[in-house]
Amino acid sequence: MALSIIFSPLLLSFFLFFSLLQPLTFATQKSYVVYLGSHSHGLEPTQSDIERVTDSHYELLGSFSEGKEKAKEKIFYSYTNNINGFAAVLEEEEASSLAKHPDVVSVFLNKGKKLHTTRSWNFLGLEADGMVPPYSLWKKARYGEDVIIGNLDTGVWPESKSFSDEGMGPVPSKWRGICQHDTKDGVVCNRKLIGTRYFNKGYAAYAGHLNSSFQTARDSEGHGTHTLSTAAGNFVPGADVLGYGNGTAKGGSPHARAAAYKVCWPPINGSNECFDADILAAFDVAISDGVDVLSVSLGGDPTEFSDDAIAIGSFHAVAKGITVVASAGNSGPSPGTVSNVAPWLITVGASTMDRAFTIYVALGNRKHLKGASLSDKRLPAEKFYPLISAADAKAADQSEEDALLCKPGALDPKKVKGKILVCLRGENGRVDKGHQALIAGAVGMILANDENSGNEIIADTHVLPAAHVNFTDGEAVFSYLNRSNRAPMAFLTNVRTELATKPAPFMASFSSRGPNIIEESILKPDITAPGVSVIAAFTQAIGPSDADYDKRRTPYNTQSGTSMSCPHVSGIVGLLKTLHPEWSPAAIRSAMMTTATTRDNNGEPILDSTNTKATPFADGAGHVQPNLAADPGLIYDLTVNDFLNFLCSRGNTKKDIKLFSDKPYTCPKSFSLADFNYPSITVTNLNDSITVTRRVRNVGSPGTYNIHIRAPPGVTVSVAPSILRFRKAGEEKMFKVTFKRAPKAVLTDYVFGMLTWKDGKHFVRSPLVVRHY
């Protein structure tokens, strides 16, 4: 007791002193990372190299603080091996001043992080901060438990962990398929990968005799493994691509069963690899096998339905209650390029997600440009290299146009060696351009977008240090090359993964656009989903760049295309089939379309690749939102007879109808395409006025829905009735929508709007598309 009396004044003084110091010492200080790029000492630094670099960090920070000795106190990490930089406790003013120093690439807060997923399902709201929230469709639908997803593609790599059957129960009794050539050298199935088949006779009709390597469903190209695992792959921790994007790989329906139907083979006759005869055979068998969902990431030019194997095969699948999801095509951004446009299909466009694999281009004029890459190659030293346009590096017998595109044989190695080469996007493959640059002796490549590609940049697994930059930044590079008074120079930083990037999504330039040139009254694509730099399982038969010269192997790879967005929707369909087994394929499509969003993560309208507002010809009804699709409120349904009536209205003969119907069908005497109960409404011949009819069914609780209209410019829109009251689930109501040309309106092109039914909880949206006749 006496001791406490003696020391209490001293303790009180201490605490008072400490409390006075605390705000001064800690309140305005935070830990930062100061990134300086790479080192000049190579991959194996000596002790003197490390000491030199460390001392340079002290010198740099000391010039902004109270000297070198104080800097030593502030720095708690010096990155001295591969990364050049340091971590330190800094005042905000110090951090701000350091960021302006010419030797500093960036200064950023030392923020806490969590282990990350391969991202797209997080972006779609099925998980949040590494957790699956109670409202997630994953939980509601038991992760797609026992739904069977079939995939028409290049086959499967069965050894991938994405197709492990650990923890899975018996194969569903409804499954009637087989594991074709289930041998040690073929494809061994299990309780996850429950069926595989291959179809190559249509291919052989063009290619001739096929050897034994074609008698398997094993995937030697990677595309099929990637798409099937995106739709139905397991949770696989520790997935990455060449060290980037590390996290847990997930399929949309991770507890689903998977079946692979190999219909695509090495390209012949140009780029033909998936032949109609094989596609149709696969549809035929898959329907009998008992699949619930078919994912089809392939297609060709838009074709009349009766001449389209995918349209025919999918009609028969839908007639049996199987939902078919297909890719919109990669022929964008030109209008009228969308394929797989049959109204019984779900057609999916491609857009970005909020993750980027970022690399910076530093030009000699001190401009820094943000690019994308997944190259595991790095420039060996942090120094600037000579920069040259590929057009100026052309071989003597080649054109500037071919050289600028970095086509094979178009470059002069004497002009390229030791330099960073600038290539233009287009015609030949992006990774191949880098390979041509490497062959010619380049130390790195800047891949600049052409105007059509706009702001879309793609992270590819390049074989040399490379940065893909958008059109505007590409113009800045070429301007620097053309106007520089000194020898142009540049440097490429290392790649890093960035999350929560904005804006996202925006539309990929390659995603095929409407209008639907086969049937203009049906809006296509229906919806958009992540399709850029998607990480999923991959074959071990080839390297990540899909090139013979690439000897690298990675169990997971990144790919881009509507082929990647399609299986995202297929996985979501699997969840909705599990949650609502009574819903028809058309009901499932309606639920996704009417709950889709047309806003990005800034709350602004989704942008096209040209930085202008995307139209429904790019994103359809918008970006898919799986959690909201589980409870859409109202749905626009369609039956097989509705689809047959649709065909009848287009002038199809009885012979044509037989291609689609398994029994005789008599066309109605009158049927208007304007009344076809599609979730979107397209009017292609507005002269004065036109009225269309729609029918909705309540799949939620009783409620009252009010109409909200955003009319297309130059058009007035009215809806009758304007209020729909539902007393029970399953009740149906009809309404009419009248479009009138506004007085003095001059309509020379398509215009767009939105019709929304609201009950306070649900927002049931339908895009409006109008063209003057």
Q: Distance (Å, rounded) from C-alpha 492 to C-alpha 385?
A: 9
697 DSSP β-pair partners: 635, 732
Ranges of beta strands (E only) in 167-212 are: 193-198
Q: How far is CA 661 from the centre of its chain?
A: 35
Helix axes 562-579, 223-232, angle to 10 degrees: 30
| CB of 333 closer than 8 Å to CB of 608 | yes
| Catalytic position from the list 295, 351, 453, 563 | 563
Q: Which tokens hold the place of 359? A: 């690399």
| Catalytic position from the list 39, 223, 580, 623 | 223
| CB of 764 closer than 8 Å to CB of 696 | yes
Residue carrying structure tokens 């797989």: 340
* Dihedral sign of CA atoms 745, 747, 752, 756 in order: positive
Q: Which amino acid is at 489?
A: M
Q: Which amino acid is at 414?
A: K
Instruction: Give the list of residues 6+ apart from residue 686 with CB closer than 8 angstroms, or none.
Output: 715, 739, 741, 747, 770, 771, 772, 773
Q: Distance (Å, rounded) from C-alpha 557 to C-alpha 555?
A: 7
Q: Distance (Å, rounded) from C-alpha 635 to C-alpha 458?
A: 36
Give yes or no: 223 in active site: yes
Find the angle CA(128)-CA(134)-CA(138) to the nearest 5 degrees: 75
Per-position DSSP letters for 212-256, written without gaps between them? GGGSS-B-SSSHHHHHHHHHHPPPEEEEEETTEEEEEE--SSTTS
Ranges of beta strands (E only) in 373-439 are: 385-389, 420-424
Burial of 4 (0-12, 13-18, 19+ CB in 10 A): exposed
Q: Which amino acid is at 548?
A: D
Q: Distance (Å, rounded) from C-alpha 755 to C-alpha 709?
A: 5
| CB of 539 closer than 8 Å to CB of 574 | no
| CB of 573 closer than 8 Å to CB of 324 | no
| CB of 219 closer than 8 Å to CB of 156 | yes
Q: Which tokens hold the place of 500? A: 């929560």
Instruction: Give the list of residues 6+ apart from residue 73 with CB closer than 8 angstroms, or none.
Output: none
| CB of 122 closer than 8 Å to CB of 53 | no
| Catalytic position from the list 38, 57, 136, 153 | 153
Q: Which amino acid is at 30?
A: K
Give yes or no: 153 in active site: yes
Instruction: Give the list of residues 6+ apart from residue 161 with CB closer than 8 angstroms, or none.
Output: 234, 236, 537, 555
Q: Distance (Å, rounded) from C-alpha 140 to C-alpha 583?
A: 16
**Distances 360 to 22, 78, 241, 373, 596 between C-alpha atoms, Å:** 39, 22, 19, 10, 34
Instruction: Give the list of residues 6+ apart from residue 215 with CB closer than 8 angstroms, or none.
Output: 181, 198, 200
The 8-class DSSP code of residue 752 comes to E
Q: Distance (Å, rounded) from C-alpha 292 to C-alpha 321?
A: 8
Give yes or no: 563 in active site: yes
Per-position DSSP letters for 316-342, written without gaps between them? HHHHTT-EEEEE--S-TTSTT------
**Distances 236 to 232, 239, 266 between C-alpha atoms, Å:** 12, 7, 29
- The dihedrals phi and psi of 699, each to the nearest 5 degrees, come to -115, 15
C-alpha torsion angle, residues 575, 585, 119, 599 (rounded to 10): -120
Q: Which tokens hold the place of 204? A: 């052989």
Number of H helices, E strands in the chain: 20, 34
Q: How far is CA 243 from the centre of its chain?
A: 20
Q: Which residues are catalytic?
A: 153, 223, 563
